[in-house]
Amino acid sequence: MSRYLITPLFLLLAACASDSDGTKRLVDMEDAGTEDMSTQDTSTGDTSTTEPDCVPVESQYDTVVSPILNQYCAECHGAEPAFGAPYSLVDGYADLVDGPEGERKVDAMLSELMERTMPPAFSQQLPHNQLDTLVGWVSCGLEHPDPSDGLEANRDVWDTGDTPPAGTEPLEIRPDPQTIGPNVIDDYRNFNFSNLVTEDRFVRRIEPIIDDSRVLHHITFTTGSGLDVTYWYAWAPGTGAIEFPDGGMRIGPNDSFTLQIHYNNGAGVPDAVDTSGVRLYLGDAIGTEYGMMSPTTFSIMVPPESTATATKTCTATMDFDIIAGFPHMHEIGSTFTHDVLRQDGSVENLITLTGWNFEAQYFYEMPVRVNAGDQLRMVCGYDNPTNRMVTGGQNTSDEMCFDFMIVVPAEAATQCGGIF
Ligand code: HEC
């Protein structure tokens, strides 16, 4: 058995497990090639061997796997199976891996989880990171659920090809090699970077550097902090580069940035060392300057086991063009709509998303002109399956409602400030 290894990512502003300074490196164009996206080789070979290709690591069973099975599966797959479930899934490690490959309980779990048939639709679903962890474990890190399953958007993802613009130089933003131990689950590491340039430059393109895809879950590249954070780039499986048509976003000697990497070693691989990050392509500060406008509201209150919306409206004070936008919510986001309410009473939609998935966050094309006096109205929808109240905030378990929009002229970015 072998498969594509697609690495997961998701985006969140989460409590960081560790902070450290990263390093920056200027590299030659030759070295700037695409990193390994890790297609794992598959042995097509003979299935008569008794030794299974994948034996999930035992050391994670008690600490990681058993708690997930107890919470999300044991209601039916308990020691005494109930509600028609065929067998127990909580009889211990040996029981799950017993038998010939293809007929073990772990093999059945993998196909049920990948097809999203378990847990059944009417019962409590696994949060995405626990689903990833469980799938990673039963497949020895070979499989990952497609995070964009179920996501519907009425705009195209903004993806800008493979070739960096002529006359630019790459600047790699990546941490010193990070060791990701076999028991590391949901570890958010933040790396701070400053003094990246000695004079003003334009960032013409940003692309991901994918190093050890077995443990890489997500990458974000932001400036500012706390409630004032602005996203410059975020990576999820499938995310491409972003590139400005001409010119770019200004970066100066005093600007500082945070690279956040979320690691998840659900498969318990013993030798993971990662130095993933982002690559900026810098050019002279000439041509069009773009800005990042970030309307947001933190007035979010979603009662237990309920749905709710949060709305941000603001009135444009100048004419500007939107190039692309990056809707951002956390775990319980469900829908996202952003409209322009014209002064003549008409409504133009910027974007509508349904089936929000925390792991599948992208910049979308939004080629819309906004005129002074138009109103922008952003509505974030939430669906809270938990038994606690969820409010706006910066932790993983809090919610957010943002649309990071690339706008021109750059001065337009200061509109719609404030967190209410
Ligand atoms: C609400 C009850 C319920 C929950 C919760 C539940 N299951 Fe099931 N499961 C069933 C039933 C009923 C069947 C048998 C009928 C079917 O396949 O739909 C089943 C079948 C299975 C099978 C066997 C499929 C086969 O044909 O061999 C596996 C494997 C499985 N579930 C895994 C899981 C896992 C993993 C979880 C937790 C993440 C889970 N289930 C949670 C009810 C449940």
Model confidence over 235-294: pLDDT tens digits?
Answer: 876 678 999 988 999 999 999 999 999 888 888 888 999 999 999 999 999 999 999 999
Distance from the CA of 274 to the center of ligand 1, in angstroms? 35
Supply the residue whose CA is at minimum distance from atom 17 of ligand 1.
85
Residue of 71, 76, 107, 133 best suited for mutating to test ligand 1, as the one with most atoms within 8 Å of CB? 76
Biggest distance spanned by C-alpha atoms of the chain? 73
| Distance of alpha carbon 184 from alpha carbon 89, whole angstroms | 23
Residue type, 133: T
Supply the residue whose CA is at minimum distance from atom 32 of ligand 1.
109
Is the predicted pLDDT of residue 29 greater than 50, yes or no?
A: no
Is the predicted pLDDT of residue 361 greater than 60, yes or no?
A: yes
Least reliable range by pLDDT among 7-16, 102-111, 119-128, 313-322: 7-16
Distance from the CA of 263 to the center of ligand 1, in angstroms? 29
* Pocket around ligand 1 at a 6 A CB cut-off: 72-73, 75-77, 83-86, 89, 108-109, 112, 118-120, 123, 126
253 upstream amide cis, omega within 30 of 0: no
**Which residues fall within 8 angstroms of residue 109, CB to CB, at 6 or more apart?**
89, 96, 118, 134, 138
**Closest approach atom of ligand 1 to CA 117:** 18
The pLDDT tens digits of the residues spanning 76-89 come to 999 999 999 999 99
The pLDDT tens digits of the residues spanning 116-151 come to 899 998 888 887 778 889 999 999 988 888 878 789
Residue the block writes with tokens 């013409």: 204
**Closest approach atom of ligand 1 to CA 109:** 29
**Which residues fall within 8 angstroms of residue 52, CB to CB, at 6 or more apart?**
97, 100, 101, 104
Distance from the CA of 120 to the center of ligand 1, in angstroms? 7
CA–CA distances in Å: residue 256 to residues 30, 85, 193, 260: 27, 53, 6, 13
- DSSP letter, residue 283: E
Radius of gyration of the chain (CA): 23
Is the predicted pLDDT of residue 103 greater than 60, yes or no?
A: yes
Distance from the CA of 217 to the center of ligand 1, in angstroms? 27
Instruction: Compute the average pLDDT of residues 312-327.
Output: 96
Cα four-point dihedral sign 122, 126, 127, 128:
negative
Distance from the CA of 186 to the center of ligand 1, in angstroms? 26
**Which residues fall within 8 angstroms of residue 68, CB to CB, at 6 or more apart?**
126, 130, 133, 134
Instruction: Compute the average pLDDT of residues 29-50.
Output: 40
- Mean pLDDT, the chain, integer: 85
Distance from the CA of 212 to the center of ligand 1, in angstroms? 32
Is the predicted pLDDT of residue 35 greater than 50, yes or no?
A: no
pLDDT at 28: 31
The pLDDT tens digits of the residues spanning 50-84 come to 678 899 999 999 999 999 999 999 999 999 999 99
**Closest approach atom of ligand 1 to CA 126:** 38
Residue the block writes with tokens 């006359």: 167
pLDDT at 281: 98
pLDDT at 50: 63
The pLDDT tens digits of the residues spanning 219-249 come to 989 998 777 788 899 887 667 899 998 899 9
Residue the block writes with tokens 């309307």: 295
Which residue segments constitute the domains of the chain, with CATH numbers given?
58-138 (no CATH), 152-156+291-414 (2.60.120.230)
Supply the residue whose CA is at minimum distance from atom 33 of ligand 1.
118
